[in-house]
A and B are shown apart, each in its own frame.
Chain A
Amino acid sequence: MVETKEAWGSRVGLILAIAGNAVGLGNFLRFPVQAVQNGGGAFIIPYLISFLIMGIPLLWVEWGIGRFGGTLGHHLTPFIMDSMAKGRLWKYIGVFGIFANIAIASYYCYIESWTMSYVLHSVLGTFNGMSQQQVSQFFDNYLNVTLSTTGIPYEAITFFVFCLILNTWILSRGIQGGIEVAAKIAVPLLILFGLFLVFKAFTLQAGEQGAIYDGFVGMNFLWTPQFDSLANPKVWLAAAGQIFFTLSVGMGSIQCYASYLKGREDIALNSMSAGWMNEFVEVVLGSSIVIPIAIGYFGIDKVVELVGQGGFGLGFRALPFLFTQWGHLIGAIAGVAFFGLLFFAGITSSLAMGTPIMGFLQDEFKWKRKSSAIAFGLSILIMGLPTVLFFQKGVFDEYDYWGGTVSLVVFAMFEVILFSWVFGIEKGWEEIKKGADLKIPIIYKYLLKYVTPIILIIIFLSSLLRPAGDDWSKIGTAGWEFHNGSIIGKILHKGIGPNKDYFADKFYAENDGVVSDIKTGKLGYIEITRNPNSDIPIVNRYDIGDEDKIMVKKGEQVKTGQVLYEGNVINNVFFIDISRLLLLLLFLLISYLVWVAAKRMKNNLQTTS
């Protein structure tokens, strides 16, 4: 058995670290959006049922796999899974448990860096006096690395690098001295900031500080049960998907954390405690901040429109403006609390993503802790820079889709099948019960064997074959059309629009709208506003070069497919395919390193025997 020097210093530290890993930006930005889009209060019923029958069993499986591997001296899913079953295939399925962490951290650390920057801007009062449109434009300008609206050169890159240095430094201090200390500071602060914002949301009154509705109007909207939505399979799929992503399962980081447990330490109660802590942050805090405050100022219709743009639209385009309505001091405090909360939620997750990579280098290649942490930071810099530089070209979304969505579902599906069917439910059940400080109901043995794998297979198949308009009634018929967001739809570049070639001499409008702005010369662009009559405009900005010939005029109505400009065009589809290739190469590189490490391990065993 290989002995490891790293271990958790305290049980509370471990639970806070795992809860911090699960609590992420999605708790505050994704959950409320999902709830609004899927029946308001009724969403919570399938959501909690999914937590009980899929979330908790999955947590036990991942903790169980991790602790089992740790007792054999393994901290990484390729080697843990290899030790649980015969056959080489499992080792390479386990590669997902390293791959996902690098792929996700590459774009996640970028979001984390936005929150750092927005904390600073909240303190500096950057948003004071700005209109809603200006705050929204600020976000667009921030993402455009060639622009600097704040005086900090290449601000997006500067904050991204600073964020990576901070992550690397904490990781280099190890499990006890780095991750555990960070979790013990970040999680309580996150809850404190959250409680402050919940208080502000609940006490928001119509007519005061520019609010048009009480905070309770938003709560009413979010919590009014619409029981008819329970009959809609889409709501159940969305609820199961939310539980899956909120718990950070299918990544390999929980297994890695659990592999550092000592001896016969409990996993049943630990995982319940961390899981419910995540639910508290998501349901109690997450539902009571963004939506009630936004509805208090914008009203329900506009918030529903904003929700259509996703959680980032609400969090980074709307809330900074709303906080300024509370006056300079309270607005600054609220900005620091909200973006600070998102930062703490983010960093506790990104630290968890660094642990498997460090473990891999330390265990298999005998690297020192500091060198492993620096290697993690550098690999995220290399993989993450494309998401920073080409954010608006779709690279960020590709990383999120393949690394942060598909890979997790595939990995979780296989690991549950491995645990319940290959390793065997009897052995698996004993592993979960070993040292348990909690009596686990026997029904979970059967849920683990039958229900959890089936739900995960359904989630995978529904992602693979998702129909256009989510209309499942045509399944198997000739009229079946794949959704743009389905796995097959993505592979086929469905919904890519009229600019389908990598390189072209014309650029076509991707949506109907109005040409709201044109700037020529260096850093030129054409802006198309898709909903010109709305208070919350959806704007597409297309960068143009010095020599490009503009074919539209400001104020002109344009139709999808109409030529906007002529010149040397490199379309988004080129960047999308390059990012897919990068991710594929990353997976292959990790697989190769796993193969090398496994070969070394085998040779060492032969030498010692």
Chain B
Amino acid sequence: MNIGALIFMLTTEITITVLTVYFFVRVLRSPKHPTNSEIDE
């Protein structure tokens, strides 16, 4: 595999993987939102 292709592949795949994990972890760590009924109360 040539260096250009390898760098391009790794950069893209690592970036996408990191962003996928980052957003998913943020979802897991986000506080629960109040529901409609809780707001009404």
Contacts and interface: CB of A to CB of B under 8 A. Distances in A.
Interface residues of B, number: 26
A549 B8 CA distance: 58
Interface in B12-41: 12-13, 16-17, 19-20, 23-24, 26-28, 30, 33-39
A437 B30 contact: yes
Given A220-B2, A269-B26, A438-B26, A277 B20 contact: yes
A219 B5 contact: yes
B7 to A, nearest CB: 9
A33 to B, nearest CB: 18
A263 B40 CA distance: 10
Nearest to B28: A12
A224 interface: yes
Interface in A67-100: 71
A263 B36 CA distance: 4
Contacts of A12: 27-28
Contact of B16 (A41, A224, A276): A276
A387 to B, nearest CB: 34
B20 to A, nearest CB: 4
B4 A225 contact: yes
Contacts of A272: 23
A143 to B, nearest CB: 35
B33 A276 contact: no
A284 B2 contact: no
Contacts of A263: 33-39
A284 B13 contact: yes
Chain A, interface SS category: helix
Contacts of A41: 5, 8-9
A283 B36 contact: no
Contacts of A279: 16, 19-20
Given A264-B39, A284-B16, A15 B24 contact: yes
A141 to B, nearest CB: 38
A349 interface: no
A46 to B, nearest CB: 13
A270 interface: yes
Contacts of B26: 269, 273, 437-438
A223 interface: yes
Interface in A427-472: 435, 437-438
Interface in A261-290: 262-266, 269-270, 272-273, 276-277, 279-280, 283-284
A262 B33 contact: yes
Nearest to B9: A223
B17 to A, nearest CB: 6
Contacts of A280: 16-17, 20
B18 to A, nearest CB: 10
Contact of A220 (B1, B13, B16, B27): B1
A272 B21 CA distance: 11
Contacts of B8: 41, 44, 223-225
A494 interface: no
B9 A266 contact: no
A326 interface: no
A74 to B, nearest CB: 15
A273 B24 contact: yes
B35 A262 contact: yes
A15 B13 CA distance: 21
Given A220-B5, A225-B5, A225-B8, A276 B20 contact: yes
Contacts of B38: 263
Interface in A557-590: none
Contacts of B36: 71, 262-263
Nearest to A438: B26
A216 interface: yes
Nearest to B30: A437
Contacts of B17: 280, 284
A489 to B, nearest CB: 35
A277 B24 contact: yes
B38 to A, nearest CB: 7
A12 B33 CA distance: 14
A266 B5 contact: no
Interface in A323-365: none
Given A270-B27, A273-B24, A279-B16, A219 B1 contact: yes
Given A225-B8, A273-B23, 4 more contacts: A223-B5, A269-B26, A276-B19, A277-B24
23 contacts: A12-B27, A12-B28, A44-B8, A44-B12, A48-B12, A216-B1, A217-B1, A219-B5, A224-B4, A225-B4, A262-B35, A263-B38, A264-B39, A266-B33, A269-B26, A273-B24, A273-B26, A276-B19, A276-B20, A280-B20, A284-B17, A437-B26, A437-B30
Interface of A: 11-12, 15, 41, 44, 48, 71, 216-217, 219-220, 223-225, 262-266, 269-270, 272-273, 276-277, 279-280, 283-284, 435, 437-438
10 A-B pairs closest in CB distance: A273-B23, A223-B9, A280-B20, A223-B5, A263-B35, A262-B35, A263-B36, A224-B5, A220-B1, A437-B30
